[in-house]
Amino acid sequence: MADPILKLDDLSKNFGALPVTRHVSLEVMPGEIHAVIGPNGAGKTTLINQISGVLKPDRGRVLFAGQDVTRLGVAARARLGLARIFQISSVVAGFSAQENVALAAQAKAGSSFRFLKPARADRVIEEKAAESLAAVGLARRADVAAALLSHGEKRALELAMALVQAPRIVLLDEPMAGTGKAETERLTELLAGLRGRLPMLLIEHDMATVFALADRITVLVEGAVAASGSPEAIRNDPVVRRAYLGEDAHA
Ligand SMILES: Nc1ncnc2c1ncn2[C@@H]1O[C@H](COP(=O)(O)OP(=O)(O)OP(=O)(O)O)[C@@H](O)[C@H]1O
């Protein structure tokens, strides 16, 4: 069996006397979409902050592609290919969609194009940006200023900005927050189209999205893993239904 791309090993974190992450262990396999769900205050954001490097755990380890990254900061983890999107937008409103993606490509490329002539390097970046925009269905909106894109299109743009940097995993922090029904469906389809190619760790309150996308679901309750398994197993888990989905849940 393949090695996990991301592995959390006995992660624990307290805020003062309050334990917010309790001995959390989970794995994301290559190509897998792994959703983490749980009621408000369950510790999902705190967990994702420890994965991206914003917060350091009190104990336990974060392993990324086999490497212990527990002590690395956000930038170092991002350089290794750990991308986090949707919580903090890095879109420049006055730039076109294409320019935003080109900027992201350039940031990632850094000095790696230094052997190319500048004009050639620019062309490579423009090509990569156009490919990423096409991958999220924004090819025809390439020249539109980001400020003029719809909310859903902005989300797609942020995804394109992540994709152009060729991440090895994407952490999706409530991608559907603030999006309408039609946009949620379109974004869900977009993410489903990446299934198998790009592993994702998804935190999301919208259960329709979670059950449409996830290969595996981990349920956090009061900072601890209450259950983990296939969507089918989670849907039918009596403990989960009581603690989180609600007995009458039809998700
Ligand atoms: N910086 C902080 N200092 C102290 N307590 C915090 C801090 N951040 C979060 N908490 C507490 O930690 C617990 C977990 O919060 P967290 O935001 O991780 O939960 P969540 O599952 O993401 O919630 P939601 O679904 O509402 O976004 C909550 O009780 C919250 O009040």
Mean pLDDT of the chain: 89
Q: Which of 19-28, 98-107, 223-232 has the lowest mean pLDDT?
A: 98-107
Residue 227 has pLDDT above 90, yes or no: yes
> For residues 60 and 68, is the Cβ–Cβ distance under 8 A?
no
User: What's the confidence (pLDDT) of residue 157?
Assistant: 93
User: What's the confidence (pLDDT) of residue 70?
Assistant: 97
ipTM above 0.90, yes or no: yes
User: What's the confidence (pLDDT) of residue 249?
Assistant: 47
**And the tokens for 61?**
């380890």
pLDDT tens for 41-82 read 999 999 999 999 999 999 999 999 999 999 999 989 988 999
What sign does the CA torsion over 44, 50, 54, 57 have? positive
Cα 41 to ligand 1 centroid, rounded to whole Å: 5
In 3D space, the residue among 191, 205, 123, 121 whose CA is nearest the CA of residue 163 turns out to be 191
Look up residue 58 and give its amino acid: D
Residue with the nearest Cα to atom 28 of ligand 1? Answer: 41
Residue with the nearest Cα to atom 31 of ligand 1? Answer: 41
Cα 154 to ligand 1 centroid, rounded to whole Å: 26
Bridge-based pairing state of the strands 216-221 and 33-37: parallel
Residue 251 has pLDDT above 60, yes or no: no
pLDDT tens for 81-124 read 998 886 556 789 999 999 999 998 888 766 555 555 666 778 88
Pocket of ligand 1 (CB under 6 A): 15, 18, 20, 38, 40-46
Residue with the nearest Cα to atom 17 of ligand 1? Answer: 45
Tell me which of 11, 12, 13, 15 to substitute to probe ligand 1's pocket, judged by most ligand atoms within 8 Å of the beta carbon: 15
Residues whose CB falls within 8 Å of the CB of residue 175, separated by 6 or more in sequence, listed in order: 85, 86, 155, 187, 191, 202, 204, 209
**And the tokens for 223?**
């900072």
Where do the H-state alpha helices sit in the chain? Answer: 44-52, 74-79, 97-109, 118-135, 151-163, 181-192, 207-213, 231-235, 238-240
User: What's the confidence (pLDDT) of residue 88?
Assistant: 56
Q: How confident is the model over 208-230, as a mean pLDDT?
A: 95
What share of the chain in percent tops pLDDT 70?
90
